[in-house]
Amino acid sequence: MTRTVLVVDDSPSVRRMISMTLKGAGYSVVEAEDGQMALERASSARPDAVITDQNMPRLDGLGFVRAFRARPEGRGVPVVFLSTETDAAKKDQARAAGAIGWMVKPFDQAKLLDVMRRVLG
Amino acid sequence: MTQEGINDQAPATRNVVTFDLCGEVLAVPASQLREVLEPVRVTRVPGAPPFVAELVNVRGAVVPLADLRVPLKMPPGADGPEARILVLEIPLDGQEMVVGIRADTVHEVTRIGPADLEEIPTVGSRWPPRFVAAIGRWRGHFVTLPDLAAIFADFLAGPPGRAPSAGSSGLAPEPETT
Amino acid sequence: MMDEETLTLFRAEAGALVESLETSLLALKDRPNDRELIDSAFRDLHTLKGTGAMFGRADVASFLHDFETAFDRVRDGSMAVTPELVALSLSARDHVADLLRAGEPVAQDPAGQEILARLAALTDGAVPAPSAGPGPEPQGAWQVSFTLPPDTLALGGRPELVLEELRRIGARRIRARVAGIPPLEEIDPENLYLSWVAEIDASVTEDEIRGAFLFHEDGLDLRIEPPAPPSDGETSAAGPPEPKPALAPQRGTSLMRVPAERLDEMMDRVGELVIAEARLADLAARSRDPALMSVAEDIQRLATGMRDNTMSIRMTPIGAITPRFRRLVHDVSADLGKPLTLDLRGEETELDKTVIDRLTDPLMHLIRNAADHGLENTETRRALGKPETGRITLSAGYSGAEVLVTLSDDGGGIDRSRVRARAIERGLIPESVPENDEGLLKLIFEPGFSTAETVTKLSGRGVGMDVVRRSIEELRGTIDVASEAGRGTTITLRLPLTLAIIDGLLIEIGSERFVVPLAAVDEIVELPERHRDGESGNAFLDIRTSLVPFLRLRSLLRATGDPDPHQKVVIVTSGDDRIGLVVDRIVGNHQTVIKQLSPLHSGLKSFSGATLLGDGAVALILDVPNLVARGRGLAEETVEAA
C-alpha cells in the first residue's frame, strides 16, 4: 500500500522539492502551507508520517505537533521536524511536543529518503 | 545516389499509388505516401522557382508543395474538381523530407510486378531520362514512375541563379529581384 | 533500488561537478593562490569521489582519491599549485569524464594508472596515503545491546525499522530480551518494554552502528562492545568502508534539475497551444458572440503568459558554454606552443537553450581558427613589438531583439591579397575584382573557399568557414567579418534571442499576408500622398529629419492586384540601419510560432521562416536584416548616382 506523507512548510519550493523526492520514491504526498492547514489536511488524508517546518504563519510547527498528537489521527504517526537550527534546546522542545526526529535544512534527497525509510520502512 | 530507384535494383513487385497529371498516368511508391489532401488554401512563396512555388499546412506542419509538371516538362494547368495533393516522404541526403505534390486525380494503390515494367527509352522520350525511375503498364495505360529523389536532389544541387545545369533542367530557382 | 531517474540525476550532477572542477582548475592556472578556487576544486573532487562511490562507481572514487589527497595538501599549504598540477588535474578531469561516459564501472584502467603515477611523481615522490586497507582488520563481531526510549511508540517510532537498519548494515543475529515486560495488567500499550542484543559484523564502524539509531538517541540505552582481536595473523582483504558520502548539496532548495528534452517538449506544446489559440480567436471573432470572444481573450492572455514563462525558462546564459572555450584555448595554447589568453565579456547574456547549444561548435571552430591562423607565433609577435601573449576576446551583448556575439583576436589580420588570389583560383570571383573590394573578406565564408592546402591538426578536419556560416544561418543569424592588417580580425555574429515563438506584426499585400517580427518594428506611418503612385520606384521618407529609404514590398514580392489607397510604411531596424517597408494593410499583432522552411526554400533570403495563421493558412516571415541590407544597397546606389 502506498504510504502517505504530509509535508508542512510555508515555502512552496521546499514543499515541492520534498514532495518531488518523495513521490519519486513511491510515496504519496499531501501538502500544507502552515500548521492550521496541516491539521485540516491530516484529518482527511490520514498520513502515515509528517514532515514539518517550524516557522510558519498562523500555526507554527511546535503548535501543530501538539495539536496533532492530541487528535486520534495523530496517534503513533511519526513526525519529523525540519529546521535550519541545530540548537539542542529546540530539539528537546520538539521531542517534548511529540516529534520523533529532527532534520537540519538544507538536506539532500538521499538524506530525506533515508529518514523516511527509517520512520516508515 | 540519386538513382537509387528501380534502375539499380533487381525488379520486384512494388505497391504504388497511381494518379493523373496533365493527361498522363504517374505513380509513386505507396511506402512514400503519407496522406492525400483535398485542395486546401496554399500560400505562394514569392521568388521561389515554379517547381516549388507554394506552401501548404499539413496538420500543423508547413510543407512545400511541388509541381511535377515543371521537371516533367508538362504545360501548366489549373486545378480541376478532382485535384488532390499527395503528401509524400522522400529520402533526401539521408533524411526524409515531407513534400506535397499536385495531382489532377488520384486513382488507387496497386501492385506493379517485374512483368509490368518496360524498358526506359533512352531517346525520344519527352521526359529527362534521369527523372524517370521506371515505366510500367497499368490497366492498359503506360504509367511512369518519376524518380522523385533524383528530381529533388537535382533541384537542390542547382546553385541559385548561376548553375550551368540550371537552364537545362528548368528547375533552378530564378534569381530574386533586388 | 537504483532507478533510471536517480541514475540520470547522478549523471547530470557528476557532469556538473566535472565542469565546475574544470572551471576552477583553469582559473587556478592564472590565480594559483586563490583560496576559494582551491577549496572549490577540493570540494568538487571530494563530492565526485563520494557520489561516485555511492552510485556504484568505485573506479571513479578510487581514481580520484589521490587527487583529493593532493588538493587537501594544497589546502593545508604543504603543497603549491603548479602549472604541472593543474595540467595533470585537467587530464584527470577528462579521464573521469570518460569513465562516467562509459556508464559502467571500468575494471582495468591503465590510462588512470598512468595519470596516478604521474601525480605520484609530482607530489615529490612522497608516497600518498595508500587507498587500500591500512592493515590487519579485526575479526569477530560487535556486541550491541540496546533499549529504545520508552516513548518510542507514542512518537510513532517503529522498533522493527531499527532492527531492519541494523541488519542492513551488517547485524548477524538479533535477539529480543523480554525480561523487562511487566505483568499483563500493568502493560501500557504505548510503552515499549523490549530490549535487544545484536551481533554486528566487525567491518561495520561504530559510527554506522550509532547511525542506525537515528531519532532514537534521546533516552536510548546503547552499549557497544568492540569485536575481539583476531585470534591468528590472518588479515582481511576488505578495506575500511568508505565514509558514508553525502550527495552534493543542492544549490538552494528552490532549484530543480530538468532534462533538456522536457523543455523542448514543453516549447513544442506551447507552440501548438499558441496556434490553437489563434484558431479559437479567429472563430470567436467570426461568431461575434461576446461570451465566446471573452473566453478567447482569456485564453489568449493565458497562452501569452505561458509562452513568456516557457521561453524565460529556456533562456540560458552564454556563460554555460564558455568553460569549454577556456579549455580549448588552454589546450590549443599548449599544442601550438603559443601563449594565449581568452577574454570573456558579457557571459551573463542569455539566449534560448537551442541557440546556445547550436552555437557551441561554430564558436569552437572560430576560436580554434583565431588561435591557429589569426594569431602570429611568439617570435613574430616579439619582432613586431606586440605582447607575446596573443589575446582572443569573446564578447556577447544585447542589441534589440538580437544578441551580438563578437570574437576578435589581436593577430595579423586577414591577408586580403591571399583571399583574392584564392577566390580567383577557385572561380568565386572574376579577376576584375579589386583587392579593396568591400565584399572580399566575406568570401572566406563561401563553400569551396577553404581548401585542404592549409590543413593543420587544429583547424583542418575538413570543416570550413562555410559550415560555420551555415550553422549560424540555420539559427536565423548572420555572420560578418572585419579585419585590419597587423591589428587583428573580428567576427560578428547576430543571433535571434529565440528560435521558437516571436511576437509578429501581420501585414497584408494584395490578398497575401506576411509576418514582420515585431521586435524589429520601430513605427508605422502612412505612405505620403506624393509617393502613392510610384509603381516600382523606391525613394526616401523624411521621418523626423532623417531620411529613411523604403522598399515597396508589393513589387519586391511580385504581388498582384491594385495597391490599397491608404498604404502604410512599417519602419524596421536592423543593426544601425532603418528602412521602410510599404504594405497595403496592417492586420494586427500575431503570436508567431516559427516553422523552419524546408531545404527547398532555405535559399530564399527574403524569408526567415513560416508560420500558421488562425484560419490555418501559412504565412511567410520576412527576414528583416536581409531587407534592411537591400535598403542599404538602395541608399548607396542613390548616393553614387548623385
Average pLDDT for C60-87: 82
Any B CB within 8 A of C301 CB: no
Q: Are A57 and A63 spatial neighbours (Cβ–Cβ below 8 Å)?
A: no
H or E element that contains C96: helix C83-102
Residues of C in contact with A92 (CB under 8 A): 218
All 3 cell numbers of residue C515?
Answer: 509576418
Nearest chain A alpha carbon to C213: A118
> What class has domain C501-641?
mainly beta
Tell me if C250 and A17 make a contact (CB, 8 A cut-off).
yes
Nearest chain B alpha carbon to C594: B62
Q: Are C520 and C399 spatial neighbours (Cβ–Cβ below 8 Å)?
A: no
Sign of the alpha-carbon dihedral angle for C58, C63, C66, C67:
negative
Evaluate if residue C421 carries a pLDDT over 80: yes
C536, amino acid identity: S
- Say which of A17, A77, A102 has its CB closest to residue C253: A17
Evaluate if residue B171 carries a pLDDT over 60: no
Q: What is the DSSP letter of C230?
A: P
Specify the residue for cell string 575481539: C228
Q: Which CATH fold topology does C4-122 show?
A: Four Helix Bundle (Hemerythrin (Met), subunit A) (1.20.120)
Which residues, numbered 583 to 612 in chain C, qualify as contacts with chain B under a Cβ-Cβ cut-off of 8 Å?
A: 595, 597-601, 603-607, 610-612
Residues of A in contact with C214 (CB under 8 A): 101, 115, 118
- Say which of C556, C600, C604 has its CB closest to residue B155: C600
Tell me if C557 and B156 make a contact (CB, 8 A cut-off).
no
Specify the residue for cell string 585542404: C452
Evaluate if residue C314 carries a pLDDT over 90: no
Beta partners for residue C173, in sequence order: C199
Residues of C in contact with A110 (CB under 8 A): 54, 246-247
- Say which of A17, A98, A121 has its CB closest to residue C158: A121
- CA distances (Å), C209 to each of B31, C144, C213, in order? 67, 9, 7
In angstroms, the separation between the Cα of residue A43 and the nearest Cα of chain C is: 17
| Alpha carbon C65 to chain centroid, angstroms | 29
Angle at C303 between CA C298 and CA C308, to 5 degrees: 130
Question: For chain A, what is the domain count?
Answer: 1
Contacting chains of C (3 CB pairs or more, <8 Å) are: A, B
Residues of C in contact with A100 (CB under 8 A): 152, 155-157, 215
- Mutation target to probe the A interface, by most A beta carbons within 10 A, among C214, C216, C250 is C214
Do A and B make contact via 3 or more CB pairs under 8 A? The reply is: no
C233, amino acid identity: G
Q: Write down the mean pLDDT value for chain C.
A: 80
Same fold, C321-496 and C501-641: no
- Say which of C158, C246, C252 has its CB closest to residue A108: C246
Confidence at residue C637, expressed as pLDDT on a 0 to 100 scale: 60
In angstroms, the separation between the Cα of residue C69 and the nearest Cα of chain B is: 51
Torsion, CA B3, CA B5, CA B8, CA B14, rounded to 10: 180
- CATH H-level, domain C321-496: superfamily: Histidine kinase-like ATPase, C-terminal domain (3.30.565.10)
- Say which of B47, B55, B178 has its CB closest to residue C630: B178
All 3 cell numbers of residue C21?
Answer: 572542477
Q: Are B154 and B70 spatial neighbours (Cβ–Cβ below 8 Å)?
A: no
In angstroms, the separation between the Cα of residue A44 and the nearest Cα of chain C is: 19
Torsion, CA C330, CA C333, CA C334, CA C339, rounded to 10: -110
Do C and A make contact via 3 or more CB pairs under 8 A? The reply is: yes
> Which one is predicted more confidently, B87 or C309?
B87
Domain with residues C141-225, CATH architecture = 2-Layer Sandwich (3.30)
Confidence at residue C470, expressed as pLDDT on a 0 to 100 scale: 83
Tell me if C161 and A119 make a contact (CB, 8 A cut-off).
yes
Q: Are C267 and C500 spatial neighbours (Cβ–Cβ below 8 Å)?
A: yes
Distance CA C522, CA C501 (A): 20
Please, is C145 exposed, middle or buried when counting C-beta atoms within 10 Å of its C-beta (0-12, 13-18, 19+)? middle
Domains and CATH numbers, chain B: 14-155 (2.40.50.180)
Evaluate if residue C581 carries a pLDDT over 60: yes
Q: What are the tens digits of pLDDT across the range B70-91? A: 888 888 878 788 899 999 999 8
Confidence at residue B172, expressed as pLDDT on a 0 to 100 scale: 40
Average pLDDT for C274-279: 85
Distance CA C369, CA C187 (A): 84
Q: Are C271 and C500 spatial neighbours (Cβ–Cβ below 8 Å)?
A: yes
Q: How many residues does chain C have?
A: 642
pTM over 0.80? The answer is no
Contacting chains of B (3 CB pairs or more, <8 Å) are: C
Contacting chains of A (3 CB pairs or more, <8 Å) are: C
Any B CB within 8 A of C501 CB: no
Any B CB within 8 A of C269 CB: no
pLDDT grade for C485, boundaries at 50, 70 and 90? confident
Any B CB within 8 A of C107 CB: no
Nearest chain B alpha carbon to C609: B62
Tell me if C161 and A98 make a contact (CB, 8 A cut-off).
no
Q: Are A61 and A72 spatial neighbours (Cβ–Cβ below 8 Å)?
A: no
In angstroms, the separation between the Cα of residue A100 and the nearest Cα of chain C is: 5
**What is chain C's Cα-based Rg?**
35
- Say which of C54, C161, C249 has its CB closest to residue A106: C249
Evaluate if residue C86 carries a pLDDT over 90: no
Of C336, C319, C347, nearest to C389 by C-alpha is C336
Tell me if B160 and C633 make a contact (CB, 8 A cut-off).
no
- The ranges assigned to domains in chain C are 4-122, 141-225, 261-316, 321-496, 501-641
Tell me if C618 and B57 make a contact (CB, 8 A cut-off).
yes
Measured from the Cβ of residue C522, the count of other Cβ atoms closer than 10 Å reads: 15
Any C CB within 8 A of B152 CB: yes
Any C CB within 8 A of B175 CB: no
Q: What is the DSSP letter of C519?
A: G
Domain housing A101? 4-120
In angstroms, the separation between the Cα of residue A58 and the nearest Cα of chain C is: 23
pLDDT grade for B121, boundaries at 50, 70 and 90? low
Beta partners for residue C32, in sequence order: none
Evaluate if residue B109 carries a pLDDT over 80: yes
Work out the percent of chain C whose per-residue pLDDT is above 70: 86
Sign of the alpha-carbon dihedral angle for B119, B122, B126, B131:
positive
Any B CB within 8 A of C455 CB: no
Any C CB within 8 A of A42 CB: no
Confidence at residue C538, expressed as pLDDT on a 0 to 100 scale: 56
- The three-state secondary structure class of B140 is coil
Q: How many A/C residue pairs have CB atoms within 8 Å?
A: 77
| Domain CATH for A111 | 3.40.50.2300
Q: What angle, 0 to 180 degrees and rounded to 10, lies between the N-to-C axes of helices A61-70 and A35-45?
A: 30
Nearest chain C alpha carbon to B99: C598
Evaluate if residue C508 carries a pLDDT over 90: yes
Q: What are the tens digits of pLDDT across the range A29-74? A: 999 989 999 999 998 888 999 999 888 888 888 999 999 988 888 8
Angle at C635 between CA C633 and CA C636, to 5 degrees: 65
All 3 cell numbers of residue C226?
Answer: 568492540
Evaluate if residue C238 carries a pLDDT over 90: no
Residues of A in contact with C254 (CB under 8 A): 11, 13-14, 17
Q: What are the tens digits of pLDDT across the range C2-49? A: 456 667 767 777 888 888 888 888 888 888 888 888 888 887 887 777
Angle at C493 between CA C488 and CA C494, to 5 degrees: 145
Q: How many B/C residue pairs have CB atoms within 8 Å?
A: 80
Average pLDDT for C458-468: 62
Any C CB within 8 A of B177 CB: yes
- Say which of B44, B62, B173 has its CB closest to residue C603: B173
Cis peptide before C130 (omega within 30 of 0): no
